[in-house]
């Protein structure tokens, strides 16, 4: 991944993908839908869906929060939800950014596919194995192999 400079660049590239998502939603708010900040979709079991994430998204979250602040998912609910609020709203994953209640499913699917294509390209560019995992599995495995896959310490983990 290229040491600390590689991590910095990877985090910047993920931020650019997140900015691209936000720009798509602003260009066509009717198709994007709107988050009601109710927290319903953060309760994956009750909402009957799962959130899938990629390694670059987890590196981004770890860089912004510090790797020690990553939480395990202990039930069917996002570990970053408190009440109806998202405690990592500015760092939230691509799927969370794309989904909006009442949004056009075809548009959301199109944006998801493009975001995933870009995230996968980052994995290839930075030498990080690509995985598309549900949030619980991704968080459980992150500390042991995501950053270390490039023989580098995770940002904020105190190693190296």
Residue 158 within any structural domain of the chain: no
Percent of the chain with pLDDT strictly greater than 70: 87
pLDDT of amino acid 94: 96
pLDDT band at 159 (very low <50, low <70, confident <90, very high): very low
Overall average pLDDT of the 128-136 stretch: 93
Task: Output 60 or 45, whichever has higher pLDDT.
Answer: 60
| 87-118: pLDDT as tens digits | 999 999 999 999 888 888 999 999 999 999 99
Task: Choose between 138 and 146: higher pLDDT.
Answer: 138
Above 50 in pLDDT, residue 4? yes
Sign of CA dihedral 88, 105, 24, 28: negative
Q: For residues 155 and 88, what is the distance between their CA atoms, to the nearest angstrom?
A: 17
Distance CA 1, CA 55 (A): 13
| Both structure tokens of 52 | 């899938």
The answer to the question of residue 156 being in a domain is: no
Determine the Cα angle at 17 with ends 105 and 155, to 5°.
125
**Three-class secondary structure assignment of the chain:** CCHHHHHHHHHHHHHHHHHHHHHHHHHCHHHHCCCCCCCHHHEHHHHCCCCEECHHHHHHHHHHHCHHHCCCCCCCECCCEECCEECCHHHCCHHHHHCCCCCCHHHHHHHHHHHHHHHHHHHHHHCCCCCCEEHHHHHHHHHHHHCHHHCCCCCCCCCC
Rounded to whole angstroms, the maximal C-alpha distance in the chain is 47
pTM of the full predicted structure? 0.87
Band of pLDDT at residue 151, cut at 50, 70 and 90 = very low
Residue 41 or residue 88, greater confidence = 88
Q: Is 105 contained in some domain?
A: yes
Give residue 47's pLDDT band: very low, low, confident or very high (50, 70, 90).
confident
Is residue 63 domain-resident? yes
**pLDDT (0 to 100) of residue 144:** 42
- Domain annotation covers residue 155: no
What is the domain extent for residue 16?
3-150
Burial letters 118-146, b for 16+ CB under 10 A, else e: bbbebbeebebeebebebbebbeebbeeb
Q: Is the pLDDT of residue 68 over 90?
A: no
pLDDT in tens, 76-88: 899 999 988 899 9
Count of domains forming the chain: 1
pLDDT band per the 50, 70, 90 thresholds, residue 150: very low
């Amino acid at each position: 991944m290229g040491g600390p400079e590689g991590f910095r660049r990877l985090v910047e590239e993920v931020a650019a993908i997140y900015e691209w998502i936000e720009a798509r939603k602003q260009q066509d708010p009717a198709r994007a839908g709107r988050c009601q900040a109710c927290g319903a979709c953060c309760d994956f079991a009750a909402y009957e869906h799962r959130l899938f994430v990629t390694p670059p998204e987890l590196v981004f979250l770890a860089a912004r929060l510090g790797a020690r602040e990553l939480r395990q998912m202990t039930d069917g609910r996002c570990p970053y939800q408190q009440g109806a609020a998202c405690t990592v709203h500015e760092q939230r994953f691509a799927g969370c950014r794309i989904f909006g209640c009442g949004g056009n499913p075809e548009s959301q699917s199109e944006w998801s596919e493009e975001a995933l294509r870009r995230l996968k390209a980052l994995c290839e560019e930075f030498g990080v194995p690509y995985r598309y995992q549900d949030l619980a599995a991704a968080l459980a495995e992150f500390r042991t192999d995501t950053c270390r896959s490039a023989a580098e310490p995770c940002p904020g983990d105190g190693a190296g």
